[in-house]
Amino acid sequence: MSYLAPHFDHDVFMSYAHGRLPGYSAAPLRDWSQNFIDHLKTETFALRPDIGEVAFCDDRSVDPTAALTDDIKVRVERSGVLLIIMSPAYLLSSWCTDELSWFKAQFMGRRLSPGRVFIVRAVSTNEDGWPDFLKDSRGHRDIGFQFHRETTEIGIEPYGWPDLRSRTEDFNKTFSTLRTTLIGRLEALRVSAQSAVSSVLPTPAQTGRMLYLHAPPGADGVRAEIEDELQSEGYNIAPAVPRANNDTLSAWQAEFNERVRVAGSCAALTLLRPTDDPSFDNEFQVVGIDTLNRVNKIRRDRPLPCAILNQSQTPFNDADYAERSGIPLFDLSTPNWLPEFKVWFEGARA
């Protein structure tokens, strides 16, 4: 479990290039970077065992900068701190080329929260080639933590090259500063996250009979009808979270975070299945599984009850999973669905 759990899955996501020549197995830049990560992890624990093991995310089986898969994007999104090991190979990676807009949104979003991005200047680079978002408001590159000698040349190796088995005095000084600063940032981020959660966690009096009613796209009419029925029985319906206005990962993440916030302030989460459209499978995955899991990590000992309001009498792919997870289906085609829902609701929140 990460130090920042349940607010983040990982404490630090390490982003570095392998720099491996095609056809060769040797990758000294990868080796230096991974040894750097291991030193940072073990020394942090040795000096601050009171905070436990800091969870570093670095996939040893793939180059984290080679291809920005959805899985890697999610890992970055769910990490408290982003640490970049800078090198000429890094500037040629997909982070700064193929997926420039996504990475820019990630970087700029974190830069608004001081201390959530660290840059380790490993191999000397052409600073003119740095993307604008890695520079300050005056166009100067981020100073970061320099682990190579002062130089204007490009491609000067970092201290301890190639495998970091021998550490120089200059390395140790900068490394100590980085380690101390990182620990301080993680502690501050944890306090900030806990304060933010405590300010939005609902009390029983606040949640009352408030429901979060989620409906798939195009089902506004059906949602309005069900909302009227629920309100006639004394339930309050939280405003629906607007869909992302574009298909970027950052926009989707903003929508997801807002849904977690709103749903977490309700007494129950309900999903409307108006038809047998297979797209509901995705809605259930995102809301009935992912959103619910994130809310419950925050609520901890007060899990959020969840139910499906099923207007279609046909089964859906994840119906068995829903049943195993304690998520009931209420058949809206039967006249007694609302009394049955009321019995479930009162029992679930008791």
- Per DSSP (E only), the strands in the chain are 10-15, 56-57, 79-86, 117-121, 145-146, 210-214, 236-237, 268-273, 306-310, 329-331
Mean pLDDT of 278-293: 88
At residue 194, does pLDDT exceed 90?
Answer: no
Domain of residue 245, CATH code: 3.40.50.2300
Residues 22, 145, single domain; the answer is: yes
pLDDT value for 38 = 95
User: Whole-angstrom Cα distance, residue 172 to residue 126?
Assistant: 25
Residue 4 lies in a domain: no
Mean pLDDT of 185-189: 88
At residue 164, does pLDDT exceed 60?
Answer: yes
Question: 140: buried, middle or exposed (CB in 10 Å: 19+, 13-18, 0-12)?
Answer: exposed
Q: How many residues does the chain have?
A: 350
Query: Model confidence at 249, in pLDDT bands (50, 70, 90)?
Result: low
Residues 247, 262, single domain; the answer is: yes
User: Whole-angstrom Cα distance, residue 177 to residue 196?
Assistant: 28
Residue 65 lies in a domain: yes
Residues 212, 80, single domain; the answer is: no
User: Whole-angstrom Cα distance, residue 127 to residue 129?
Assistant: 5
At residue 270, does pLDDT exceed 90?
Answer: yes
Residues 170, 30, single domain; the answer is: yes
Residues 208, 87, single domain; the answer is: no
pLDDT value for 250 = 63
Residues 281, 216, single domain; the answer is: yes
Evaluate whether 261 touches 253 at the Cβ level (below 8 Å).
no
Strand-pairing partners, residue 344, are none
Last residue of one domain, picked from the residues 169, 198, 227? 198
Residues 221, 188, single domain; the answer is: no
Residues 223, 104, single domain; the answer is: no
Query: Model confidence at 200, in pLDDT bands (50, 70, 90)?
Result: very low
pLDDT value for 128 = 84
Residues 235, 121, single domain; the answer is: no
Residue 2 lies in a domain: no
User: Whole-angstrom Cα distance, residue 9 to residue 96?
Assistant: 24
DSSP labels for 267-297?
SEEEEEE-S--TTHHHHIIIIIIIIHHHHHH
Residues 190, 43, single domain; the answer is: yes
Evaluate whether 235 touches 63 at the Cβ level (below 8 Å).
no
At residue 111, does pLDDT exceed 60?
Answer: yes
Give the count of domains, the chain.
2
Mean pLDDT of 82-96: 87
Highest mean pLDDT among 72-81, 157-166, 292-301: 157-166
Bridge pairing between strands 56-57 and 10-15? parallel
For 214, the domain range is: 202-348
Residue 3 lies in a domain: no
Q: What angle do CA 84, 146, 56 make, to 5 degrees?
A: 35
Last residue of one domain, picked from the residues 168, 198, 228? 198
Last residue of one domain, picked from the residues 198, 224, 255? 198
Residue 137 lies in a domain: yes
pLDDT value for 205 = 41
At residue 242, does pLDDT exceed 90?
Answer: no
Mean pLDDT of 320-332: 91
User: Whole-angstrom Cα distance, residue 324 to residue 313?
Assistant: 19
User: Whole-angstrom Cα distance, residue 145 to residue 30?
Assistant: 18
Residues 220, 301, single domain; the answer is: yes
Residues 218, 127, single domain; the answer is: no
Residue 1 lies in a domain: no
- pLDDT, tens only, 18-46: 888 889 989 999 999 999 999 999 999 99
User: Whole-angstrom Cα distance, residue 347 to residue 350?
Assistant: 5
Query: Model confidence at 265, in pLDDT bands (50, 70, 90)?
Result: confident
Lowest mean pLDDT among 201-205, 231-235, 338-342: 201-205
Domain of residue 135, CATH code: 3.40.50.10140
At residue 202, does pLDDT exceed 50?
Answer: no
pLDDT value for 206 = 44
Query: Model confidence at 59, in pLDDT bands (50, 70, 90)?
Result: confident
Residue 5 lies in a domain: no
